[in-house]
Amino acid sequence: MADRGRKKGRWERLQEAIPKHSIVGRVLHPMIEERRTLAGVMSWVGLFMLVAFLAIAAFADFISPYNPTLIVDEPTVPPLTNAPIEKNLSYTFVSPVPLTSWQNAIDGGKRDDGSVMVSQSPSEVIVLRSFGFRLFTDSVQTIQVLIQANATIGAPNHFVDVEVSWDGGQSWSTPRRTVGRTSDADNATNAFDVTSTTQWTREALDDFHLQVRLTHVTESGPPGSVAVDFVSVRTVYLSNFHIMGTDNVGQDVFSRVLHGTRTSLAIMIIGVSVALVVGFPLGLYSGYRGGNLDKTLVLVMDSLYSFPGLLMAGIIAVLLGKGVLNIGLAVTVIYVPLYFRVTRSQVISVREELYVEAARALGAKPSRVMVSYIAYNVLIAVPVIFSLSAADAILTAAGLSFLGWGVEAPTPDWGRDLSAGQQLIDTGVWWPSFYPGLMILLLTVCLSFLGEGLNDIVNPLLKKERS
């Protein structure tokens, strides 16, 4: 009982802080009074969710663990896990330059396709590097050197010693000898595990520090040659931890979802705010004045309203170009007729009220009548229309981005990320499209709850029906 009394006191203090007949008070007071009804619960739930989305948009830079526009890990890493990543890469650079040994070293020895590099004399050395590893973590699990080599027929005692460096050639591992001593081992791929050689990090595996040295050696016997048909380095490492995984290019989905909130809310606010600024005064003036101007504006607005909204926004977006501001203005065109129609219908009803007639009789100017007497009473419908149109604006903006007419890459945007992620669903990669789609759903439901709840609370006809 005491707790309930404290809650009632808080509500009362809130009501006392905001005058009942102010613009905010005319919405807030009914919400407080009806807070235990279904409409009141819907409106408060929608309001709290909207505040949460606004907080996410405001503090996205502090909440997100990664830069949303950068590649921070391997593509399609699953959510809530450190996924094992395997890479098997070959070299792209050889030294010394120019080559004085190991014929065909630049083109040979990269693929198991018959193109080989050959050393004709013992003690010839070649160093291979630039394997192309781009690791995003130091959690290296396994490092192996794979090499396929064979001795020339008639020279069975010729071999290739394989060494690995992790610091740019300053230190080398213990030589590992390849080319089998028996005929059944010839041409087999040898895998040398060098994981325990050093503490491997992403720096040790970059193009400069990771090097593989091949040396032609012989024990005894006639002169001969050795051929290397394939050299690569295979590594297995753990990805970073990602709450929502990574997308198809390796961007963090969680970070993009957080910053996408800012993009979607910015487009929504631009779209519905500009529509309100344009549509409300036009509807107010047209409904109060009437005449031919009113008929013309009604005809234009009805024509725009009857046109498919997404198609209309798409046409405007193509003309204006991509970007948050341009997409916001494209969305505006859809909702100007909505604000105009609702405002005009309210004005036509209010302008016949007795207090308006009294103001005219007292000599109030038409502009004062519209602003002080009519607009003040019509504004009560704006929060309802604003919330419902905002929910639709979120879907429209997401649809434009999904179709490729929205913001440009790499700007985080739910619709664009949903479009990119849906192409991976058939491969079992569901998370790049699921989370942006979920956020679109939650924000739309939040605004719909707020709008429908306010409509039931503020609309006097619906309020009368409930009572």
Beta strands in 23-157 (DSSP E): 84-89, 93-95, 117-119, 125-129, 140-151
Range(s) of the chain covered by CATH 1.10.3720.10: 9-69+246-466
The predicted pLDDT at position 434 comes to 95
Task: Count Cα neighbours of 55 within 13 Å in the Cβ-side half-sphere.
Answer: 7
Beta strands in 46-139 (DSSP E): 84-89, 93-95, 117-119, 125-129
Q: In degrees, to the nearest 5, what angle opens at C-alpha 183 toward C-alphas 177 and 184?
A: 90
Angstrom CA distances, 406 to 23, 265, 271, 275, 409, stand at 35, 14, 13, 19, 9
pLDDT in tens, 310-347: 888 888 888 888 888 989 999 998 899 989 988 888 88
Range(s) of the chain covered by CATH 2.60.120: 84-238
- Who wins on pLDDT, 90 or 110? 90
> The pTM is what?
0.83
Averaged pLDDT, 223-251: 90
Averaged pLDDT, 9-20: 69
Question: CA-based diameter of the chain, in Å?
Answer: 123
Q: Report yes or no: 179 and 159 within 8 Å, Cβ to Cβ.
A: yes
The predicted pLDDT at position 79 comes to 95
Please name the CATH architecture into which domain 9-69+246-466 falls. Orthogonal Bundle (1.10)
The dotted CATH code for 84-238 is 2.60.120
The predicted pLDDT at position 378 comes to 81
102 contacts: CB under 8 Å, gap ≥ 6: 94, 117, 118, 119, 124, 126, 214, 216
CA–CA dist 413, 406 (Å, integer): 9
Question: Tokens for 231?
Answer: 């050299």
> Confidence band (pLDDT; 50, 70, 90) for 116?
confident
> Confidence band (pLDDT; 50, 70, 90) for 182?
very low
